[in-house]
Amino acid sequence: MKVSTLITAAAVAAAALIGLAGNASAQATRTWVSGVGDDVNPCSRTAPCKTFAGAISKTATNGIINCLDPAGFGAVTITKSITLSCEYTMGSILASGTTGIIINGADIDVVLRGIDIDGSGTTPGINGIRFLQGSSLIVEKGVFRDFNGASPNGAGIMVNATSGNLKLVVRDSVFTNNGATTSGAGIDISPTGSTSVTVSVEGSLFTDNRVGIRAIGTGTTGTIQLSVTDSEISNSTSHGLVVQADPGSSKVMVTGSQIVSNGDTGIRASGANTIVRVGSSVISGNLVGLNAINGANIRSYGNNQLNGNGTDGAFGGTIALQ
């Protein structure tokens, strides 16, 4: 082989390696956004981007986007596993007329910390978060307010996937003034197809929404499992907690929580495949405390406070403490 041929081959190989290195370095595992940033920047700490959408394309799968300061960082669609971390600065998204965050990627895991998503404006926000596809979503220290989009929207968080098994965890978050006249909720779980959803709500406040939490399994053959722990659902214009299933099943556990002062029913359950278990909780000040219809069952661990409602209703049975 001629020397010139060897040199040419070596040059081509070197160029390929440089190209691979360039592609690998194009996405960092940790990036930053700032109110004074610019999306033409590399999203480094000293040269941050301005929006989540600008930063996400420069952040590797399973990477982290940090907020350097409190600012509005714009709506974003997430299609890969990633963390948006703003818990020490409270990053925000103003989502008038749109959805703040759309999660739509096969088997992805997303974490959102310290984000205030606001739907107020001339045109009502559609949903704070729409969880369409993925494996898991963890929300911590979030605020979801003023999402009043028309039916079937108007939710702080909407879970309406058409397939798969999804997991949603919400901790230490606030949902307020979500929902329109006839639809919407703080959290709306309404999967379709064969989707199953597991939802855990811990230490959170739902107040002044149309419905606090809505779990509707009528569109899926899968299962909805919901636990509400150490939380408050209050001052809803309609129901506090609504659970409905058939053909799917809905299994709900409420513990250490207050469901109070809602304009209609505190806990409303419907469908033969629906069971709600309640322990160490207060259900008071609602128009109706409990309402189980169409074969649903709301059961007590015998340590609740069910009184002070316009009509208290009654538990469908007692579960022995063990």
* Structure token digits, residue 252: 């709900």
Average pLDDT for 117-141: 97
* Residue that the structure tokens 């060897």 belong to: 6
Residue 196 pLDDT > 90: yes
Looking at residue 19, its pLDDT comes to: 43
Beta bridge partners of 157: 129, 187
The CA-CA-CA angle for residues 115, 96, 110, to 5°, reads: 35
Per-residue pLDDT for 277 more than 50?
yes
**Is it the case that residue 6 has pLDDT exceeding 70?**
no
3 state SS for the chain: CCHHHHHHHHHHHHHHHHHHHHHHHCCEEEEEECCCCCCCCCCCCCCCECCHHHHHCCEEEEEEEEECCCCECCCEEECCCEEEECCCCCEEEECCCCCCEEEECCCCEEEEECEEEECCCCCCCCEEEEEEECCEEEEECCEEECCCCCCCCCEEEEECCCCCEEEEEEECCEEECCCCCCCCEEEEECCCECCEEEEEEECCEEECCCCCEEEEECCECCEEEEEEECCEEECCCCCCEEEEECCCEEEEEEECCEEECCCCEEEEEECCCEEEEEECCEEECCCEEEEEECCCEEEECCCCEECCCCECCCCCCECCCC
pLDDT for 64 equals 98
What is the percentage of the chain residues whose pLDDT exceeds 70?
Answer: 92
Confidence check: pLDDT of 36 > 60: yes
The mean pLDDT of 273-286, rounded to a whole number, is 98
Question: Which residues on adjacent β-strands are paired with residue 152?
Answer: none
How many Cβ atoms from other residues are within 10 Å of residue 66's Cβ? 22
**Residue 12: its pLDDT value, please?**
41
pTM: 0.91
Segment 222-251 shows an average pLDDT of 96
Residue 295 gets the label, from left (phi > 0), alpha (psi -120 to 50) or beta, of left
> What's the gap between Cα 214 and its chain centre?
13
Q: What residues have CB less than 8 Å from 15, skipping those under 6 apart?
A: none
Average pLDDT over residues 68-95: 96
Q: What is the pLDDT of residue 322?
A: 81
Domains and CATH numbers, the chain: 76-306 (2.160.20)
Q: What is the largest CA-CA distance in the chain?
A: 96
